[in-house]
Chain A
């Protein structure tokens, strides 16, 4: 039987506010345990929440970016459950009147096709603290630094039909929130976390199958693998006559399997109700207009501009605009180099390979955009060949000089275009290879082209790669001509 996969994602995004959503505690990552947990975060009796304006603005910005309606009067609710890293006994969240209504996210797949994924809504809520279950024999350690960190939870419709689409959607959300600057998007620090609702159904069937919820899959790679693994499990289960249970499952990346979380005796009843400590949040149209006016260029618009303004291919433009930091870097290189296509080749090629090799983000690239731009200028004016340029790039990467020019000077890498000097090398190589010269003279036009490469290679070698290939070619043709 042919199966269709149905996926919906719930993505939690930590907002980059300085302080928490309901208190003036710092949200900085990595502080000593409980040093950023105030009386409000600890749920001390008598404390009251006061909503952070920036968190509201960040949520609205996200809504505007996905063309969603902004709820002018949103309401906070209490989601009640008991867990020690939630000292209040409820999470303050939004249920019936979330701040961001339905919206649309466009994704592009590897074959270049695009799809629209509907966002059901996005709401503001607070993060919980962290529980550490190891190291404290029979006890759990609770760190409430993260408690009260502002989040938006972005809930998609079940619109994705493959793991690839789910990853593309997650990447797009990552791209949007980092472009907007409302989150740092750092998955390794939990700034962006993803739960996936996965089900399968026979192709053509309208009714959805029973879904399993995969919790906390926290890298792009694991999202894809976790979903693929779960899909296979469900299909095998059904084909063997079994039934998928609606349950929460954890993905174990070491074993590449999903397994049920210890199931609770009874389903949670969160007993949602409007939070009496918080009044409805009213958003003025003027605030929405101001935020819209100040929005940065978003990934889709930037990609289109890169194609039109710089003549880049859709593929190159897509690669360059996935992350704002990469797009900004590229634009700085293109500006300084004066050639956007060469800039795109270098950023997507040599630079991206070196960053991957050393596991660095582009913001910490040892080669600055200005340095790379300077290097490309020297390729453009024929001071160096593409091959030498790679040497210069490596030298810049290893901080052997401040600029391409300085490295070209100090290492004596400048391309030789002087026909006298190259002519001497050509003569030398021809004299040293009389057999090949004879063969060349006896060969037909087609073979000659190939054989010419041998001489060019030898001369390049003699010049340590510095001879201008154009000059070599014309001198060779001259000297070998009948």
Chain B
């Protein structure tokens, strides 16, 4: 599978990554190489193999349902670019 420069632009948009146009040619080459490797792996017959959700042979540890976090709003909001009324402010988004 290969990706053209439009595909790269679309992926970058989805991932919210800013990519210079001059880089797209090289990127499409490099990502194409990765996808070729994926193609090679996908050629293997795995119809009798359960998907592996995690490489560790372990299961999730569970936490008791207890509140053990305290209010640290001021601490966290010190590094926020903008806040008001306890809210984090971000450029307006309405979808």
Measuring CB to CB, which residues of chain A are less than 8 angstroms from any residue of chain B? 17-19, 23-26, 32-39, 42, 44, 50-56, 73, 75, 82-84, 96-97, 131-133, 136, 138-144, 261-262, 264, 266, 269, 271, 274, 276, 278-282
Kindly state the separation between the CA atoms of A399 and B66 in the bound complex, as whole angstroms.
39
Name the B residues within 8 Å of A269 (CB-CB): 14
B89:A141 contact, CB within 8 angstroms: yes
Which has the most chain A C-beta neighbours within 10 Å: B56, B59, B88, B90?
B88
- A52 vs B93: C-alpha distance when bound (angstroms): 31
User: Is B43 in the interface zone, CB < 8 Å from A?
Assistant: no
B15-74: which residues lie under 8 A (CB-CB) from chain A?
16, 51, 53-54, 56, 58-69, 71-73
Residues of chain B with a CB closer than 8 A to A39's CB: 72, 76
Q: A19-B65, A54-B65, A97-B53 are in contact. Are A34 and B86 (CB under 8 A)?
A: yes
Is A53 in contact with B89, judged by CB distance below 8 angstroms? no
Chain A min CB distance to B75 (Å): 9
Question: Are B64 and A33 in contact, CB atoms less than 8 angstroms apart?
Answer: no
Assess the B71–A35 pair: CB atoms within 8 A: yes
Bound-complex Cα distance A56 to B16 (A): 33
- The answer to whether B60 and A142 touch across the interface, beta carbons within 8 angstroms, is no
Of the residues A73, A75, A144, A264, contact of B88 by C-beta under 8 Å: A144
Known: A24-B66, A53-B65, A261-B95. A278 touches B90 (CB 8 A): no
Q: How far is the CB of A29 from chain B (nearest CB, A)?
A: 14
Q: How far is B43's CA from A309's CA once the two chains are assembled, in angstroms? A: 64
- B87, A33: Cβ atoms closer than 8 Å: yes
Q: Which residues of A contact B63 (CB under 8 A)?
A: 24, 50-53
List residues of chain A with CB within 8 A of the CB of B76.
34, 37, 39, 42, 44
Kindly list 5 other residue pairs between chains A and B, CB separation below 8 angstroms, not including A140-B93, A274-B54. Answer: A23-B69, A25-B67, A52-B63, A142-B89, A261-B95
Instruction: Determine if B60 and A131 form an interchain contact, defined as CB atoms under 8 angstroms apart.
Output: no
Q: Are A96 and B16 in contact (CB under 8 A)?
A: no
Q: Which residues of B contact A136 (CB under 8 A)?
A: 84, 87, 89, 92
* Binary flags per residue of B73-87, CB closer than 8 Å to A gives 1, else 0: 100110000101111
Contact at B53–A18, with CB atoms within 8 Å? no
Q: Which residues of A contact B67 (CB under 8 A)?
A: 18-19, 24-26
- CB neighbours (8 Å) of B89 from chain A are 136, 139-142
Q: CB distance A143 to B87 under 8 Å?
A: yes
Cβ of B16 and Cβ of A82 under 8 Å apart? yes
- Sample 17 A-B pairs with CB under 8 A, ordered by A number: A34-B88, A38-B69, A51-B61, A53-B62, A53-B64, A136-B84, A136-B87, A139-B84, A139-B92, A140-B90, A140-B91, A140-B94, A262-B95, A271-B14, A274-B51, A274-B54, A279-B54
Contacts of B61 in A (CB 8 A): 50-51, 279
Chain A residues near B14: list those with CB within 8 A: 269, 271
Q: Are A282 and B59 touching (Cβ within 8 A)?
A: yes
Q: Say how far B89's CB is from chain A's closest CB, in angstroms.
A: 4
Whole-angstrom distance between the Cβ of A330 and the nearest chain B Cβ:
31
Instruction: Quote the shortest CB–CB distance from A95 to chain B (angstroms).
Output: 11
CB distance B65 to A17 under 8 Å?
A: yes
How far is B93's CA from A53's CA once the two chains are assembled, in angstroms?
A: 35
Q: Which residues in B have their C-beta under 8 angstroms from that of A73?
A: 59
Contact indicator A36/B71 (Cβ below 8 Å): yes
Task: Give the residue name and chain of the A residue nearest to B89 (CB).
Answer: A139
- Contacting residue for B60 out of A26, A51, A276, CB 8 A: A51
| Closest CB in chain A relative to B44 CB, distance in Å | 19
Closest to B68 in A: A24
Which of A18, A97, A264, A280 has a CB less than 8 Å from the CB of B65?
A18
| In the bound complex, CA of A211 to CA of B76 (Å) | 43
Which A residue's beta carbon lies closest to that of B61?
A50
Task: Contacts A33-B85, A51-B60, A276-B54 given; indicate if A138 touches B66 (C-beta within 8 A).
Answer: no
Minimum CB distance partner of A36 in chain B: B71
